[in-house]
Structure 1
Amino acid sequence: MPLTTNRPRLLVLVGPTAVGKTKLSLEIAKTFDCEIISGDSMQVYRMMDIGTAKIPEREREGIAHHMIDIHDPDDAFSVAEFQARCGALIEEIGARGKLPFIVGGTGLYVESVCYGFEFTEGGSDEAFRQRQADYAARFGADALHAKLRETDPASAQRLHPNDQRRIIRALEVYHLTGRTLSEQLAAQSKQSPYDLCIIGLTMDRQMLYKRIEQRVDEMMEQGLVEEVRRLLARGYGSDLVSMQGLGYKEIVLYLQGKAELAEAVELLKRNTRRFAKRQLSWFRHMNDIHWVDMTQVENFSAPLSTIRDIIAGKFQLNLEYTSEQPN
């Protein structure tokens, strides 16, 4: 496949949860001979399959998937590690003559790779972190989130009140540098080190919410409660960052007797809808995205054909020579 520049090619597919990224990604990967890199910050964790909507091995159709099942749930994982690993993978995949293809919905993680963000966060202050954790333990997650909202409203809008680790880090960045995390992100270069093609999927909001609710119901049928129960039994506590992820913190409440099952499920649906809204807001502020509407989901071939044309045009490819022809 010819290069349009001397920079490595990188294909990216983003969009909110439940919009249809997984199914499309497989078809795109077959057409353009891709290897897929998960752009989801939760799919890195082993044993967390149902709640993260991880694609099973048997459904990957022989396409290589990376950045899945690389950490135990109690391991630390950061955007800086994600960026570094993806950089190495992109180089390795390109050297094999394949097209690197990031698929996912964690906005900061994906954008950090696309534009080579520099993470100079000013070190750390363990005593400050502990004071904030103690404050949250005494006054609650919402009170800690309110502190961030006063200091850095943009980061507070992006972070869920239960995401204590990232809230504390955002407060720590301001404490150490005098500049908010959102200011530092806004100052990052938007020049990509890659020959970049980003596809964004969108959908009618009410239809997306309906699909989210259906996905949650499917997760429950697949055994989400048992998955969370097994994790707790293995000693992975509810205070871990991984266990604060969508689908896990809500079911933990049920298993700890703090909510009825129906309440936990409704809370999960509500939180997922809010998460999808934040995802769309993040992606709307990214540059260079070719948006494709997935509202007519029953007519799958139409958006797929549009996406194939966008990719072929961007990378100057002739679909006659790709591994699969459009329908």
Structure 2
Amino acid sequence: MTDKPKLLVLIGPTAVGKTKLSIELAKAFSCEIISGDSMQVYRGMNIGTAKISKAEMEGVPHHLIDIHEPDEPFSVSEFQERCTQLIPEITARGNLPFIVGGTGLYVESLCYQYEFAESGSDEEFRLEQAAFATEFGNEALHDKLRIIDPESAQRLHPNDTRRVIRALEIHKLTGETLSQQLSRQKKTTPYDLCLIGLTMDRQMLYNRIEERIDHMMEQGLIEEVQKLQAQGYTPDMVSMQGLGYKEIWPYLNEAATLEETVYLLKRDTRHFAKRQLSWFRHMHDIQWVDVSGPENFSANYEKIHGMITGSFSSDFQ
């Protein structure tokens, strides 16, 4: 028995199948879902973020979706703050808080109540680094990070310029590296935590990613980015550096063909999934479930249902 608030968490790489499972689990355990995705907070960015639709929610309450305009940055500290407000509110309603998402740092920082130095932001520095990357290439920007913080450089892909710039900015503002901040965090949780991770055969996952990208293009991903461009949003914004958006801008500016754009988006998404799995692998307390094979949905659901019942046995037996 514990008096800690209960928290259910479902993580996994993009396209692994978190959404469908999360809805069925939420209905079974009377959950309210909190999105653990750093990009689904932005309004008007639906296709590229694979944002769940109202119909797909099937009446399950969802939080931290469509809470910002694309020109309003969203940070891990804001995510923590909002979640620490939401979790007791959901619990007080007699429901189970359920984090679902794939942004590893966000989810881990919440689960273990990470404390980050008050680093603030330096917009001029960010713009300078973005301009540097444009002129000299993403690899050159990544080399800057490798010199001051090789551990973070190993974790972040050179094309993930948004997070590379943020890691450089943290060092500039605080005098310490992002990896130093992460290394001193205590791996203890303030929650009665049930943390479940979905994994899948790598080639099967990559095939699903490519199918998802094809579907996004059919749904109108390019038109979605064109609409954002027409609204005055620009490629240097934090939101527009997100996967599924930064790859489209060169096409809109006639700097890449459609074929090149789709190839880059599929490649970058495969790399992103690989980095997600790498991040999750070092996290504590995860109960892993291999969901290879869509025909096994029912079996996987029953297995995860049993894990949750076992973790919160006093409430769900």
Do the structures match in fold with TM over 0.5? yes
Structure-2 residue corresponding to 1:219: 216
Structure-2 residue corresponding to 1:254: 251
Q: What SS is found at the alignment partner of 2:313? A: coil
Tell me if structure 1 keeps the 8 A contact 2:130–2:236: no
- Residue correspondence of structure 1 range 122-137 to structure 2 within 5 A: 122=119, 129=126, 132-137=129-134
Structure-2 residue corresponding to 1:180: 177
One-letter amino acid of the structure 1 residue matched with residue 106 of structure 2: Y
After superposition, the CA RMSD in angstroms is: 1.7
Tell me if structure 1 keeps the 8 A contact 2:39–2:242: yes
Structure-2 residue corresponding to 1:244: 241
Higher mean C-alpha deviation, range 198-207 or range 162-171: 162-171
Structure-2 residue corresponding to 1:77: 74
Structure-1 residue corresponding to 2:167: 170
What are the Cα deviations for residues 103-147 of structure 1, in whole angstroms up to 9, with x where unaligned?
000000011110101121445566655654554354233211111
Following superposition, the deviation at residue 9 of structure 1 comes to: 0.4
Tell me if structure 1 keeps the 8 A contact 2:116–2:181: no
Distance 1:218 1:317 in 2: 43
Q: What SS is found at the alignment partner of 2:194? A: strand
Q: What SS is found at the alignment partner of 1:148? A: helix
One-letter amino acid of the structure 2 residue matched with residue 300 of structure 1: F
**Match for residue 50 of structure 1 among 47, 51, 62:** 47
Tell me if structure 1 keeps the 8 A contact 2:71–2:237: yes
Structure-1 residue corresponding to 2:24: 27
Structure-1 residue corresponding to 2:198: 201
**Match for residue 269 of structure 2 among 265, 268, 272:** 272
Q: What SS is found at the alignment partner of 2:288? A: strand
Following superposition, the deviation at residue 82 of structure 1 comes to: 0.6
Distance 1:230 1:96 in 2: 39
Q: TM-score, normalised by structure 1?
A: 0.92
One-letter amino acid of the structure 1 residue matched with residue 90 of structure 2: I
Tell me if structure 1 keeps the 8 A contact 2:162–2:238: yes
**Match for residue 63 of structure 1 among 60, 64, 79:** 60
What is the percent sequence identity of the aligned residues? 68
Structure-2 residue corresponding to 1:12: 9
Aligned: 1:111 with 2:118: no
Structure-2 residue corresponding to 1:324: none
Higher mean C-alpha deviation, range 117-126 or range 148-157: 117-126
Distance 1:27 1:242 in 2: 30
Following superposition, the deviation at residue 288 of structure 1 comes to: 0.2
Change (3 A) 1:113 1:68: same
Distance 2:10 2:134 in 1: 38
Q: TM-score, normalised by structure 2?
A: 0.95
Q: What SS is found at the alignment partner of 1:6? A: coil
Aligned: 1:89 with 2:49: no
Q: What SS is found at the alignment partner of 1:103? A: strand
Following superposition, the deviation at residue 161 of structure 1 comes to: 2.8
Following superposition, the deviation at residue 160 of structure 1 comes to: 3.5
Tell me if structure 2 keeps the 8 A contact 1:163–1:241: no
Distance 2:294 2:217 in 1: 23
Higher mean C-alpha deviation, range 220-229 or range 138-147: 138-147
Structure 1 residues without counterparts, runs of 5 or longer: 321-327
Q: What SS is found at the alignment partner of 1:190? A: coil
Aligned: 1:102 with 2:99: yes
Distance 1:282 1:29 in 2: 25
Change (3 A) 1:138 1:210: closer
Structure-2 residue corresponding to 1:286: 283
What are the Cα deviations for residues 184-215 of structure 1, in whole angstroms up to 9, with x where unaligned?
10210110011100000000000000000000
